[in-house]
Chains A and B, each alone.
Chain A
Amino acid sequence: MKKGIVNKIALVTLLLMLAILVLGASGVGAQQGSQPQLVGSDLGLKGKLGEAIANAPVGTGKGEIDPNAPRGAFGIPGAPQINYLVAILWAIWVGWIFSTVGAFGGIMAGVGHMTVYGLGDYIKTFKNTAPQVNKLLTDSIRTSNQFLVGLSSLLSTINYLRAKRLAWPLGLALGVGSIVGAVAIPALTGGKVSFSQYQGWFGLFVFVVGGVLLYETTPRGQASKKAAKEAAKAFEQSIKEKKDEASQGIKVTQWGLTETRFTFFGVEFKFNPIWAFVGGVVIAAISAFLGVGGGFLYVPYLTSIVGLPMFVVAGTSAMAVLVSMLTSITTYITVAGAAMDWGMIGVELIGVFIGSMIGPRTQKYIPDIWLKRLFVVLALYVGLRYFSRGFFGQSWVP
């Protein structure tokens, strides 16, 4: 009897709740807020950013545009004025990392754009008030991130072209794949990814990189590296013959969709162009979406998964990075309408080349393993912070 009454009460309560929800969904008792006044003009900013600014609310609060405020980043009134001294100092740090450890520099450049220069916090304010401004400026961040690592491949590619060290069959498969990935991602996601979403995915990627770096600092990771070093050294000592092979080029012996063969130094190699194509698509897509990752993903993929020697893949992967970077940046700017702050990138490049001159001088004082440990800590901290802020709205670390 008691159980029967409880069931009836529960049923009535549920039905009442359902009725309230139906009424609410129909608009009964809805709060009618006043429509905000919009900017109504592109304020001299062309393209999609100008259109989005015109539709943003006018005002001096967060997520609003004050047309009378001084112009800041991307030429937007009221946007943060990038402190060029801070920008140069941060870029010197990025250049130092590039010339000591390497890959992590791109990640730190992204951190600079998102956090250090204050752009991330500014962009987030538009999440609810002007979502299109939020998404377009996120695209600008993604595009800015790509310049630094992508530019590094320009000189490398020219050098390898001069030395005739590009494996054209591989380059073609990889290049076509990377173009597909580098066009698809900006075209499909340009103007659609909010800053929080981007920050979350960036954080996840950084966390994974931190995990890889962490493994390399463990005894097992160190042992694997040490074994490879010793094996290479032992082999070098066993070789008596001195021979300059640099003049021999790559000769294709068979073209095929699933198997292409070529000779190099009299040794025949084969690879599956479809795997090279797929790798190009995936890696270019990752680097186009995040703005980082292309530079250090191609070579391990080609040597470990496709199984080609370093000598063959070096120039080709540099070319793939350049091609995918140029394609992705062009697509973001022309199709997605990402606005660029060229002065910010110019200042960063100055800092990067200064940092890259300091790095070799300090490297002998800091053992590689301690550098990696420092970056593990940074990667895990940045990764966790961005992941939690991006996807959960608040940081899990201070």
Chain B
Amino acid sequence: MGLWELVDKVLIIFYKISGHPVFDYFLGTFLLALLAVVVGEFTISLVFLVNKNHLDRLNIQLANLQQLSMLALKLGDKKSYDACNKEANDTFGRVFFNMVGLSAAALWPAFFALAWMQLRFTGIEFPIPFTGLAVNYVFTFIICYILARMFFGRVKNRLPYFRGIHRMLMEYEKSSAPKIS
């Protein structure tokens, strides 16, 4: 049995809980989305731990340059303002693209979930009442994914591994405020 067949056998269990097709579809999709959220949170925590120092350096550098440019503006020093703004520009570019890694780590499971749903639920449409329009598995998955994220956001600081990561993230956000020496 191939890997994809094995995954299919496991994931379809989410869709056979109550026996009522519509209810099972939405419950199963929510559970699938929740699984994607949990796996994504785990991998993003890995990337965060590995890249923390690097991201720290970039964020602090960016925050300092931004503040310098503001101070230069307040003091009417246009030349310094332009220089600091240009440097901040360059640093922002690095910060922005480093976020790609974090975003990728958080979202990759969602795309595999969509790939599986594409095999199983292509062609099934959900009509929107009174409009004549219909949506497909992608739309329903996105809604369930957002709900799953919100749900997990509320419970994650009660779960063993994620509690520690959550605490670290809170400390990280507090300590990364800019300071000019």
A→B interface (CB under 8 Å): 44, 46, 75, 95, 98-99, 101-103, 105, 148-149, 151-156, 225, 227-232, 234-236, 239, 241-246, 264-267, 295-296, 299-300, 303, 309-311, 314, 318, 333, 340-343, 345-346, 348-350, 352-353, 355-357, 359-360, 363
Q: Is the CB of A309 within 8 A of B104?
A: no
B-chain residues with CB within 8 Å of residue A98 when the two chains form the complex: 97-98, 100-101
Can you list 6 A-B contacts (CB < 8 A)?
Answer: A99-B97, A155-B102, A231-B80, A241-B71, A353-B43, A356-B102
Q: By the criterion CB–CB under 8 Å, are B85 and A303 in contact?
A: yes
Taking a contact as CB atoms under 8 Å apart, the answer to whether A353 and B101 are in contact is yes
The 6 closest A-B pairs by CB, nearest first: A356-B101, A231-B83, A346-B111, A310-B88, A360-B54, A349-B108
B12 within 8 Å of A (CB atoms): no
Main secondary structure of the interface of B (DSSP, over half): helix
- Residue numbers in A under 8 Å from B93 (CB-CB): 102-103, 296, 299
In the assembled complex, B92 has its CB within 8 A of some CB on chain A: yes
Q: Which of B15-23, B25-33, B112-120, B155-163 contacts A (4 or more CB under 8 A)?
A: B112-120
Q: With A232-B80, A309-B70 given, is the CB distance from A242 to B179 under 8 Å? A: yes
Report whether over half of chain A's contact residues are helix, strand or loop; otherwise say mixed: helix
The smallest C-beta distance from A113 to any residue of chain B, in angstroms, reads 15
| Cα–Cα, bound, A229→B61 (Å) | 12
Which residues in B have their C-beta under 8 angstroms from that of A349?
A: 104-105, 107-108, 111
Tell me the number of A-to-B contacts counted with CB atoms below 8 Å: 198
Q: Is B175 an interface residue (CB 8 A)?
A: no
Using a Cβ–Cβ cut-off of 8 Å, how many residues does chain B contribute to the interface with A? 64
For window 57-111 of chain B, which residues contact chain A by CB distance below 8 Å? 62, 64-74, 77, 79-90, 92-111
The residues of A that contact B96 with a CB separation of less than 8 Å are: 102, 152-153, 156, 295-296, 299, 318
Which A residues lie within 8 Å of B46 (CB)? 357
Answer whether residue B38 sits at the interface, using C-beta atoms and an 8 A cutoff: no
Complex contacts, A266 vs chain B, CB 8 Å: 74
Query: Do A236 and B180 touch (CB < 8 A)?
Result: yes
Q: Which residues of A contact B177 (CB under 8 A)?
A: 244, 246
The distance in angstroms between the C-alpha atoms of A98 and B99, with both chains bound, is: 9
Closest to A237 in B: B181
CA distance A309 to B104 in the complex (A): 29
Q: Are A299 and B92 in contact (CB under 8 A)?
A: yes
Residue of B nearest to A266 (CB): B74
Contact A149–B89 (Cβ < 8 Å) = no
Q: Any chain A CB within 8 A of the CB of B164?
A: no
Q: Does B165 contact A (CB under 8 A)?
A: no
Residues of A within 8 A of B122 (CB): 44, 46
| Chain B contacts for A356, CB-based, 8 A | 47, 51, 98, 100-102, 104-105
